[in-house]
Structure 1
C-alpha cells in the first residue's frame, strides 16, 4: 500500500450492541421469510427447514473467517482487502465486485417489496401494481440513501427503531404460529432430513436460496473502520447475528410448513409472511406482519447501502475504481460520492425493472442471481483465512477447528453449491449472476494496467496486525498508510 494521503471515515461511532443490531438487520429476517420462502419451497418443498439448517453450519464457518480476518486487518472493504492480500489481488477485486453487484441487484429486489408492503397496508390490490410499487419503493430507497449519507450514528439510530419493532412483531407471531391448530400439515422430522431434496442438485438449489436468507450479517465488517474495538466487536456481532436469524428462519419455516398449503405459498409468493399472519390471527395478523416486512425491507436497504458504499469507498481509496469514490464528506464523514453513484444506478435499475414482470417474478431471478455472487465472495473469504492463519493453525485444536477446518469447510460448501446450481437455475438468473461478475473484469484490468498499489500488496499474515491511519485531506482520498506490528490476538 502507498503512503499517500486520504480522509478516513469517522472512527469509534458504533458499539457492540449497535453492531449486533446491524448484523441482524443486514440479514432482514422478516423480508427474507416473506420474499424468499416461496422460492425455497419451490426448490426443495418440505425440506426448507433442512436447507436452512445445513446452510447455517457452513455459514457459521464463513462468519468465523470474517471474525478472524477482521482481527488482523480493519478495512471497510472487508473480503475485498483480505482476499486480495492472501490469495491474489485479482480474486480480491472479484470478491469486492461480487458484493457490489449483489448489493446493487438487491436495491431492486428490496425496494419493490418495500413499496408493495407499504401499499398493502392501505389496499392489498395495490400491492400487485408493479409500477406503483416501484414508485413507493423508490421513495423509501431515497430516504434510506439520505440516512446513510448522514453518517453511521444516524444510521444505527434508524436501525434501532426499525429492527426493534420488526423483531418484537416476529417474536409474537413465532409463538402464535407454533401453537396454532388446524393448519395445512403436521410436524414431521423428515423436514430436517435429505429425503425431500431429490438428489444433490436439488439440495444445492435449496442451499443457494438459503445462502440468500443469511446474507447481510457481514455488514459489521464493512463498518469496522467506524466501530469501537472493531478487531473484536465486528466478528463477534456477525456470529451473534447468524445465530439469531437462524433461529428466526427455522421457527417461521416450520410454521409455514405447518400452517400454509403449497397453493397458499404459491399464491402469496411475494409475501408468504402476510398469508401466515392472516391464518394465525385473522384480521390483524396479516397487517402486523406486513408492517414487520416493510420495516425489515427498509432496514436492510440501509445496511446493503452501507455494504456497497463502504466497499466502493475502499476500492476508490485503493484506486482500483475511480478515486472519487474514496472521497469522504467533510461534515458527515461518509463516502458521499459512492453513495450518490450507487443511488443513481440503483434508481435507474429499479425503474427499468418494470419491464421484467411482476414483483414475484423479479424477486425469484434476483434471489438466485444474488445467491451465486454470495457463494463466490463468501467462499473466497473462507479460503483467505486459512492462508492468513496458516502459521498458527497447529497451536491448539481450537485454532485448527475455528480458524482453519470450519471456515475451509464453509468455503468448499459455497463453491460446491455454486457449481451444482449452475445447471439447475433459470438461464436469466445465471446470466445476471455470472454476467454481473464478468463485467468486473473491465475495471479490474484497467486499473491493474494503471498501476494501482492494490495489485502489489503486502501479504496478510496472522502473526501481524494491520493498522490503518488516515491524514485528512479536503479533496483526495487514496490508499491508507499501513503499519504492521506483532499481533497477540487469535
Structure 2
C-alpha cells in the first residue's frame, strides 16, 4: 500500500474516531457509574490515554507497519502476545463499530435504529473500499461539522442561565471503583488514536508523522471532551445526565436555542458515521496484518490492485459488524469494547517497556503507568463486560493453541 497520509490527515483520522459515540453516547453510562464524578474519571482516562498514546507513538515509529499493537506485541513480546493483542483489537473494535452504527440509528430514526445502523455499515464499508485518501477527506469534513456544532452547543448552554457550577463537584458518596468504572467507559472514547498507528503503511514519514499526529489528536479530543462534559453536567446534573438517552440533545433542549436540538441530532449521526468509517479502516488493517501471518484466513490479506486497500478484510469486517448492528445493544457494546481495547493497550505498554534507549524509550514510568491503568480500568468495568471480554480472549488463546498444534 502507498504512503499517502500526512500529519493533518492522520490527526483527522484520530479525531474522527474519538469524536464519535464518546461524546454522544459514553457520557451517560459514565455518569450512571460515578455521577458528576465522571469528570474525575475523564481525567483518569486521559492520563492513561496519554501513556498509551506515548507508548503507541514510539512503537509505531519503530515498527511502521499495518496492524498496530498486533505487530508491536509480536515483534517485542512474542507471537502469542501479538495474536492476543490483534484478537482483542478486532473483537473489541468490531463491537465499537456496531456501537457507532447504532448511535447513528438512534439519533437519526429511533424507531428503526437497527435498520439504519445496518445501512450505515454498508455505506461506510463502501467508502473504505474506495481508498484511504478518500476516507481521510470524508473524515475531515465530518470532524469540521462536529466541532462546529459542539462549539455552538457549549456556547448556548453556558449562556442560557440554566447552568449551575455546583453540579460539577463530585458527590460525597463517590468511590474509587465508581471512578475507575467511569474512566473505563470513557476510555472507549479516547481509543481513536490507535487508528493512526494501524495505518502505519499508509502514512508518509511515519517516524515523524505518527508520534506528532497521535499526541495532537489526543490533546484536541481531551479539550473537547472536558468542555462538553462540563457544560452538559452544569445544565443536567449527574443524575439527569445518567438518565438521559441522548444527553447532548437534552442539553440543547434545555438551552432553548431554536434549531440547536436538530443540529445536535445531525451532528450525532455524522459523528457516529465518521467514527464508524475510521474504525472500519483500523480493524480491516489489523485483520490484514493477522491474515498475512495466518492468524486469520490468509485470503483476507489480499490488497485491491486498483484502490490499494485490503478489500477482502474490509468486506469481512463490514459483514460481521452489520450482523452485530442488527442485533446488539449500544451500552453493552461499549462495555465489551472497552474491555478489549484496554487489554490491547496493556499489551502495547508492555511492548514499549522493552524498548532500549536507542529505540525510542525515554523512561519506563510511562509504559508502567499505562499498563497498570489499563488493567485497573478493565477489571473495574461492569461484571458482564469483564466476563464476556474474558471469554472472547480465552477463545482467542484457544485458536492460537490449535493453530500452533496443527503446525
TM-score, normalising length: structure 1: 0.79
Rate the CA distance shift 1:277–1:392 in 2: closer, same or farther, 3 A. Answer: same
How far, CA to CA, are the matches of 1:276 and 1:41 in structure 2?
14
- Which residue matches 2:3? 12
Q: What do the CA deviations read for 1:113-153 (whole angstroms, capped 9, x no partner)?
A: 1112222xxxxxxx1x2xx1111111111110000011101
How far, CA to CA, are the matches of 1:28 and 1:276 in structure 2?
17
How far, CA to CA, are the matches of 2:239 and 2:44 in structure 1?
26
How far, CA to CA, are the matches of 1:151 and 1:365 in structure 2?
31
The answer as to whether partners of 1:99 and 1:374 remain within 8 angstroms in 2 is yes
| C-alpha deviation, 1:107, in angstroms | 2.4
- 2:404 is the alignment partner of 1:448: yes
- Which residue matches 1:320? 295
- Which residue matches 1:350? 325
How far, CA to CA, are the matches of 1:306 and 1:450 in structure 2?
31
- 2:50 is the alignment partner of 1:60: yes
Task: Map 1:75-154 to 2 at 5 A.
Answer: 75-119=65-109, 127=110, 129=111, 132-154=112-134
| C-alpha deviation, 1:190, in angstroms | 3.8
- Which residue matches 1:122? none
How far, CA to CA, are the matches of 2:351 and 2:82 in structure 1?
10
Q: What do the CA deviations read for 1:290-310 (whole angstroms, capped 9, x no partner)?
A: 111111100000011011100
Rate the CA distance shift 1:196–1:24 in 2: closer, same or farther, 3 A. Answer: farther
Q: What do the CA deviations read for 1:448-467 (whole angstroms, capped 9, x no partner)?
A: 3344xxxxxxxxxxxxxxxx
Aligned pair partner of 1:400 in 362, 365, 375: 362
Rate the CA distance shift 1:262–1:385 in 2: closer, same or farther, 3 A. Answer: closer
How far, CA to CA, are the matches of 1:195 and 1:330 in structure 2?
60
Task: Calculate the aligned-residue CA RMSD, in Å.
Answer: 1.9
- Which residue matches 2:331? 364
- 2:197 is the alignment partner of 1:221: yes
The answer as to whether partners of 1:382 and 1:411 remain within 8 angstroms in 2 is yes
How far, CA to CA, are the matches of 1:257 and 1:265 in structure 2?
7
- Which residue matches 1:201? 177
Aligned pair partner of 2:15 in 24, 28, 36: 24
How far, CA to CA, are the matches of 1:376 and 1:16 in structure 2?
28
| C-alpha deviation, 1:386, in angstroms | 1.4
- Which residue matches 1:259? 235
| C-alpha deviation, 1:234, in angstroms | 1.6
Aligned pair partner of 1:172 in 143, 152, 159: 152
| C-alpha deviation, 1:219, in angstroms | 0.2
Count of residue pairs brought into register by the alignment: 407
- Which residue matches 1:305? 280
The answer as to whether partners of 1:219 and 1:304 remain within 8 angstroms in 2 is yes
| C-alpha deviation, 1:179, in angstroms | 3.2
Q: What do the CA deviations read for 1:245-288 (whole angstroms, capped 9, x no partner)?
A: 1111111111122101455434432x111111111244311111
The answer as to whether partners of 1:328 and 1:334 remain within 8 angstroms in 2 is yes
How far, CA to CA, are the matches of 1:263 and 1:447 in structure 2?
49
How far, CA to CA, are the matches of 1:297 and 1:338 in structure 2?
21
Which protein shows a greater Rg?
1
Q: Secondary structure at the match of 1:440?
A: helix
Q: Which runs of 5+ in 2 are unaligned?
A: none
Task: Map 1:401-480 to 2 at 5 A.
Answer: 401=363, 404-419=364-379, 421=380, 425-427=382-384, 429-451=385-407
How far, CA to CA, are the matches of 1:412 and 1:339 in structure 2?
33
The answer as to whether partners of 1:47 and 1:196 remain within 8 angstroms in 2 is no
How far, CA to CA, are the matches of 1:15 and 1:281 in structure 2?
41
Aligned pair partner of 1:69 in 59, 62, 67: 59
| C-alpha deviation, 1:446, in angstroms | 3.1
Rate the CA distance shift 1:196–1:230 in 2: closer, same or farther, 3 A. Answer: farther
Q: Which runs of 5+ in 1 are unaligned?
A: 1-8, 120-126, 354-361, 394-398, 452-490
The answer as to whether partners of 1:32 and 1:213 remain within 8 angstroms in 2 is yes
Q: Secondary structure at the match of 1:254?
A: helix
How far, CA to CA, are the matches of 1:266 and 1:414 in structure 2?
24
In terms of fraction of residues, the more helix-rich structure is 2
Rate the CA distance shift 1:234–1:391 in 2: closer, same or farther, 3 A. Answer: closer
How far, CA to CA, are the matches of 1:391 and 1:450 in structure 2?
38
TM-score, normalising length: structure 2: 0.95
How far, CA to CA, are the matches of 1:52 and 1:106 in structure 2?
19
- Which residue matches 1:186? 165
How far, CA to CA, are the matches of 2:262 and 2:140 in structure 1?
21
